[in-house]
Amino acid sequence: MSFLSEKRIKELAVQANEIRKSIIEMLLEAKSGHTAGPLGMTDIFTLFYFHILKHDPKNPEWAERDRLVLSNGHICPVFYATMAHAGYFEKEELKTLRKFGSRLQGHPHREYLPFVENSSGPLGSGLSQAAGMALADKIDGKEKDRFIYCFMSDGELDEGNSWEGIMLAGKHKLHNLIAIIDRNNIQIEGVTEDIMPLEPLADKWRAFNWHVIEVSGHDFKALNEAVEEAQTIFEKPTVIIAHTIPGKGVKSFERNYKWHGKPPNKEEAAMALKELEEVRF
C-alpha cells in the first residue's frame, strides 16, 4: 500500500464509475441478479484491486498473494466486473453473467475461475472460511506474509455462523484477518434495523475481541487509512464497518431496498448508464 494522492483518488473514482457501468450492462444482459449491493461496494472493490491488494492478474495463483474471501456472494457482479477491469479476463466475458455454462455464475464458484478463493452463496459462511485461512497461515508461520480479507454484508450478520467465525477469530487473535462489512442498512425484505436489528454493531464486535474501525465506504482516502490502521494491529483481528449507499451512483436506485435483488430493465438501464456517463470528476 502507498499514500493516496488527489490525482490517484480521481483515477480510482473514474475507474469505479467505469465498473459501475459494466455492472449495469451485465445485469441488463443477464436479466437477473443483484443491483444495490454491487453498486454500493464498487468503490471498496476498486480501492482494493487497484491499490491495496497484493495480487497479480497475470499469475492469479501466486502463492504469496493476499486472499480476498467474498462472503456475500450475491454481489458478485461487482467482483467479476472489477476483476475484468483489473485484467484477469476479457471484459467481453462479463456479458455471460448467469448464463448456462458461464464461468460467471450467480454466486462465485472457486473451481471456475482461478482468482476466486471461495465458493459463496449461503450467507454467513465466509468469515469462518477466512478465519480458517488466517489460522492456517498463523500455524504455518506465514501470518506476516499476507493478509486475509473478508468482504461481508450486514444482513448476513443475522446468521449464527457469522458469530461463530467472529468468536473463533477473536479467540485466536488473528491479526492477519481483516473483515470489511458493507453496512448499507438493507436486505432483501427491507431495512436491517426493522428485520433484525444489528446495533450497537461496533460494540458487539468489540465484545468478541476485535479492533473496530468505522468509515465511509465511498471515501477512498479514509478507507485506505482504515486498512493501513488495520494492518498495524497485532493483538487482534480488525473489522472495518464501511457505511455505504446501496445503489450508489444511480439516484433512483440509491437507498431503496427493492433494488437489493432485482436487475434493471432496458429503460432503467439506459437511464442509469446515462447518469453514470454524465458524472464529472
Q: Does some domain include residue 1?
A: no
Assigned C-alpha cell, 254? 440509491
Interval 20-44 mean pLDDT: 98
Consecutive H or E run containing 101: none
Flag the least confident range among 51-60, 73-82, 107-116, 227-236. Answer: 107-116
> What is the value of pTM for the model shown?
0.97
Share of the chain above pLDDT 70, in %: 100
pLDDT value at position 1? 64
What CATH number corresponds to the domain at position 207? Answer: 3.40.50.970
Q: Which residue range forms the structural domain that includes residue 261?
A: 6-277
pLDDT value at position 233? 97
pLDDT at 32 over 90: yes
Distance CA(216)–CA(270), nearest Å, equals 28
pLDDT value at position 114? 81
pLDDT digits (tens, 9 = 90+) for 203-239: 999 999 999 999 999 999 999 999 999 999 999 999 9
pLDDT digits (tens, 9 = 90+) for 122-167: 899 999 999 999 999 999 999 999 999 999 999 999 999 999 999 9
- Residue 247 makes CB contacts below 8 A (sequence gap 6+) with 35, 36, 39, 40, 253, 254, 255, 256, 259
pLDDT value at position 122? 84
> Hunting for cell 477473536 — which residue is that?
170
Q: Does some domain include residue 19?
A: yes
Q: How many domains does the chain have?
A: 1
Q: Does some domain include residue 74?
A: yes
Distance CA(138)–CA(174), nearest Å, equals 8
The four Cα atoms 56, 57, 58, 59 give a dihedral, to 10 degrees, of 50
Q: Tell me the average pLDDT of the chain.
A: 97
247 touches 256 (CB < 8 A): yes
**C-alpha count within 13 angstroms, C-beta hemisphere, residue 103:** 18
